[in-house]
Structure 1
Amino acid sequence: MKTSCILPPVVWLPKQLSVSSWAVPGATAAGWSAELHQQILDMQSGQPTMAELTLPSALLHRVDTSRRWEQVLEQTKKSLPELEPLPRGYLYLRRTTASGVLREGLIALLDLEQYSFEPGNTKPVRQPVPLAVQQVIARAKMREESPLEGSPIRLICKYNQEELFSSLRWYSEQAPCLYQGELILSGGHLQAWLVEDSQLEQQITHLFASKDGELVMVPVEGQEALAGAAAHWQCCKEEGADLDSPYRYCLVEVGSAFAPEVVKPMHRLVMGIQGLVLEQQLRTWCREQGIEVHSHPVEQAVPLGLMYASWEKWLYLKDKAGLPGVCLLEAFLADYLALHPMCSRDAVQEKEELEELTQYGHTGVLLTLSGEQLLKGIQAAGVMPAASFAPASIAESRFELECRSLMGLER
C-alpha cells in the first residue's frame, strides 16, 4: 500500500502579518552570527518577528546558548496570542530572489515515518550527506521543549516543475493571495496562496505516495532540524506516543529538483600536489576503476575542472552508475590521500577563492551539481560525500515565516 510522504498542514501566522518584519532567514543558513541576529532584532524592533522565536545554528554551541534558548521559549509563549491558525491546507509559494531567479515551493507536513537519516536506508525521504550529530541533538531537545515550530527545512523532490506546480499556478490565478511582501537582507519578493480546493489537495497528496524503496525527496536546507525532529519522534514512539501525535510530522517547504540553482556545488582544493600530476593520477585511477575519461563533453559524463595557477583543464568522467562528479572525485582522493599522507584536501565554495588558493602550489577541482544529479547520486550511492553542496546563504536561504502548533491541538 502506498503512503504519502506529505499531508496538508494547519499553518499559524500573525493576525497582522508584515512579511518584511516577521520573516527571517532559515536558522541553518550559512552566515548567521550573534551580530547578525541582533541586527535583525534591531531592524524588526517593535513588531512581531520570527527572529525572537528562532535560534540559529551558529548560536547553538556557545556559553550563552542556554540563556538565549530560554529567551526564545519565553518569547514564543508570549507570542502565541498574536498568532492564529489558518484552515488546514497546503501553501503555494512564489519567491523571486534578488538575482531574479523564480523559486516555487509547497508548504506541507512531512510524515517523519517516511524519512530516515541512516546511511543506506530505503525510505522515500533520505538524508543526502553525513550530519553534524551535535546539531541534531540540540535540535531534538529544542523541539521537545517548544510549543511551536517554524521551519528552516527545504526539500527537493523527483518531480519537475510542471508536474509539481502547473495546477498550483492555475489555482493562484483564481484564488486570493494569502500574503506577499519583501524579505529582509536582499531575500527577494515572496507571495503565498492557501490551497482551499479539496480536489487539488488530494491530487498533491497522492502525487507524493511512493512505492517501496523509491526515493522521492531529499532535504537541501535545515537537514539537522529535520533529523532532530525525526530523532525526537523516535523517542516519543519508544515512550508510547500515539501514532497521530503532532510530533510525527514536521513543517517543510518542498520544491522541484529540476528547478534552477536548487543546490550549488562545493569545489575541492587538493594541497601538496601540482595540477598535471593530479591529472595523471586521476586518469590512472579511473582506468583501474573502469571509468572513461574524455577531454570533451560526452553524453552522461560529468565535468571536473582542474586548476593550477594560470592553468585550467576540464575532464569528463563517465562511469556505469552515473554518479555525480563529487562522488567520483572523493573516491579517488580517498585512495590517493591514503598513499600520500603529506597531501590533504578541503572544500571551497566560491570559484574566485579557489582560483586564489591555486596560486600557492595547490590544485583546485571545479565541480558541478544539479538537484537532479543529487537525487541520482543518493539513489546510486546511498549517501553523498560530506560537503557535496554548499549551504544556502542568508539571502538565498528559505525564510522562516510559517509556524505550526506542537501543543496537540492539530497536526
Structure 2
Amino acid sequence: MQNCFVPARILLPAGGTPLNPWACIAVDQFTSQPEYWEKAESLAAGKPSTLHLVLPEAYLGTGQEDARLASIRAAMEDYRLHLLTRQVNGYVYLERTQMDGTIRQGLVGAVDLEQYSFAPGSKPAIRPSESTVVARIPPRLKIRRGATLETPHVMMLADDESRTLVEPIGAVKDRLPLLYEGDLMLGGGHLAGWAVEDPALIAQINAAVTALGDPDAFAARWPGAAGQPAMALAVGDGNHSLATAKAYWEELKPTLTPEERQNHPARWCLAEVCNVHSPAIEIEPIHRVLFGVDAPAAARAFAAWLTAHGAAPRGGDQPILLTGGAGEYPFAVSGSPDPLAVGTAEHFIGDFLADHPGVTVDYIHGSQTARAMAADPAKPATALILPEFAKADLFKGVVLGGVLPRKTFSMGHAEEKRYYNECRSLIR
C-alpha cells in the first residue's frame, strides 16, 4: 500500500505575487466577527487572493451564500487557467513565524482519503482528533462539489519525537528553491516556503512517513492499543474540511471505473503536516460562548446539571469559569461523567441548548475574545472559559480513547491558523 501522505502537483501564482493579500486565513475563524472579513475583503478587492476561492463561514446560511458560491466557481476557473502558473511536483517545506517569534515548520503534500475516515470506531492511518459533526458537512459539501481547485487549511500532526519527517528538510532549506516569502494580512505573521522536488529528499520523506505508520513501532509506543492498526497522522486543524473532502470522494467513487479510482485527483486532499513535538506547536483550549443567557442563569443551570449527573461543582480537577457582564462563576468540577473539562462543558451545552431553543453557541479561540463577547450586560451571553490542554495528551487520547470532544483544542491563536496559499487542481 502507498503512504497516506504523498507528493503532489502543487500550484502557486507567479513569483513576486504578494502574500498580502494572496494568502487568506482559514474560513472557520472570526465567525462572529464579520468586521474581520470586511477588512480582508477590502484588502483583497481587485487583487489575486485565495479569499476569492473560499467561503468564510460567517456567510454560511446568509442571503449572500449563493452569489458567493457562483463567484468562487468563476474565480477558481480563472485562477486555474490563467493565474496559477507555477508548479511544484513534490512537497512544499514552509516556515511560519508566529506572534511570539517562534517558527512553525511544515510540509505541504497530499493525504490519501482512502486511508482516512471519520466514522466512529474506525482505525485508519489518518484519524480525526475530535468528533466530526456530520451536520456540518452538507453546507461545505455544496462548496466542494464542482470545485476545480482546492486550497487547504487542513493541518495534520505527526507523533515524530525523533524528528525524522519535517525537521531534516528544514536543515537543508538553503539549497532548495525559495517559492515565496512575506508578511500575511491582518497580523498573520511571516511565511516562507521552499520547493522540495529533489528525488532523494522525496524518498527521505516517504521513508519517514512509512516509519511513522509502522505497526511494530506503533504497538511498542502504545501497548494499550495492541492489535490496533497503526496510526500515522492525526488531524490537528481543519477536521471538517477534511471530512468534507472525504464525503465528496465517497460520493464520487461510484461514478468512476476501478482504474479511475486509483488516480482521480479528488482521492487526495492537500494538507500541511507538522510535528506535534515541535516547541512551536501550541495546543490551546477552544472556549464556548452562549448567546441568549446571562452568566447567573447559566451558572445555576450548570450547577443543577452537574448534580443531576452525579457530579459536584467543587473539589475536582476540571476548572471551568462561567463569566459574563453579570458576573463570574468559577467551578472546579468533580465526579463528571466526562474525563475532560471540555467534555463536561460540551455535554452540558448540548443538553442546555436542547431545552432552550433561543440560545445559541459559538466556539471561540482566545479567552480574552470569549470574555469580551460576553461582557455586555445589555446583551445576555455567557463565556465558558476552559483550562489549558496538554498537547502530550492529544495522541494518547486519540489512540487509547478515540476522538476527543468536538472543538477541544486550537493550534495557536486565531491569527496563527494556516492561511490558504498553495493550490491543487481537482480535475485532470
Corresponding position of 2:265 = 246
Structure 1, 111-120 or 85-94: larger mean CA deviation: 85-94
Q: How many residues are matched?
A: 386
Residue 312 of structure 1, CA deviation: 6.5
- Please show how residues 201-350 of structure 1 align to structure 2 within 5 Å: 201-209=202-210, 210=213, 211=215, 213-241=229-257, 242=260, 243-259=262-278, 260-267=280-287, 304-305=318-319, 325-327=341-343, 349=364, 350=366
Structure 1, 158-167 or 62-71: larger mean CA deviation: 158-167
Residue 36 of structure 1, CA deviation: 3.8
Structure 1, 39-48 or 108-117: larger mean CA deviation: 39-48
Corresponding position of 1:28 = 28
Distance in 2 (alpha carbons) for counterparts of 1:112 and 1:312: 43
Distance in 2 (alpha carbons) for counterparts of 1:119 and 1:49: 37
Instruction: Give the direction of change, closer, same or farther, for the CA distance of 1:197–1:315 in structure 2 (3 Å limit).
Output: farther
Q: Kindly indicate whether the alpha-carbon contact (under 8 Å) linking 1:92 and 1:104 is maintained by their aligned counterparts in 2.
A: yes
Q: Is 1:373 equivalent to 2:393 in the alignment? A: yes
Corresponding position of 1:113 = 114
In angstroms, what is the RMSD of aligned CA positions?
Answer: 4.0
Structure 1, 191-200 or 246-255: larger mean CA deviation: 191-200
* Counterpart code for 2:420: E
* Counterpart code for 2:389: L
- Please show how residues 48-59 of structure 1 align to structure 2 within 5 Å: 48-59=48-59
Corresponding position of 1:396 = 416
Corresponding position of 1:290 = none
Structure 1, 21-30 or 204-213: larger mean CA deviation: 204-213
Q: Kindly indicate whether the alpha-carbon contact (under 8 Å) linking 1:33 and 1:59 is maintained by their aligned counterparts in 2.
A: no
TM-score of the superposed pair, with normalisation by structure 2: 0.76
Runs of at least 5 residues in structure 2 that lack an aligned partner in the other structure: 216-227, 290-294
Q: Is 1:188 equivalent to 2:189 in the alignment? A: yes
* Counterpart code for 1:176: P
* Counterpart code for 1:91: V
Residue 95 of structure 1, CA deviation: 0.6
Query: Which structure would you say has the larger RCO, counting Cα contacts within 8 Å and 6 or more residues apart?
Result: 1
- Please show how residues 95-174 of structure 1 align to structure 2 within 5 Å: 95-160=96-161, 162-174=163-175
TM-score of the superposed pair, with normalisation by structure 1: 0.78
Corresponding position of 1:10 = 9
Q: Kindly indicate whether the alpha-carbon contact (under 8 Å) linking 1:121 and 1:382 is maintained by their aligned counterparts in 2.
A: no
**Superposed CA offset, 1:200-236 (max 9, x none):** 2122123223236222222232222211110111112
**Superposed CA offset, 1:27-82 (max 9, x none):** 22234765544432321334311111221222232222111111111122222212
Instruction: Give the direction of change, closer, same or farther, for the CA distance of 1:213–1:324 in structure 2 (3 Å limit).
Output: farther
* Counterpart code for 1:120: G
* Counterpart code for 2:408: S
Distance in 1 (alpha carbons) for counterparts of 2:72 and 2:36: 16
Distance in 1 (alpha carbons) for counterparts of 2:298 and 2:78: 56
Instruction: Give the direction of change, closer, same or farther, for the CA distance of 1:249–1:345 in structure 2 (3 Å limit).
Output: closer
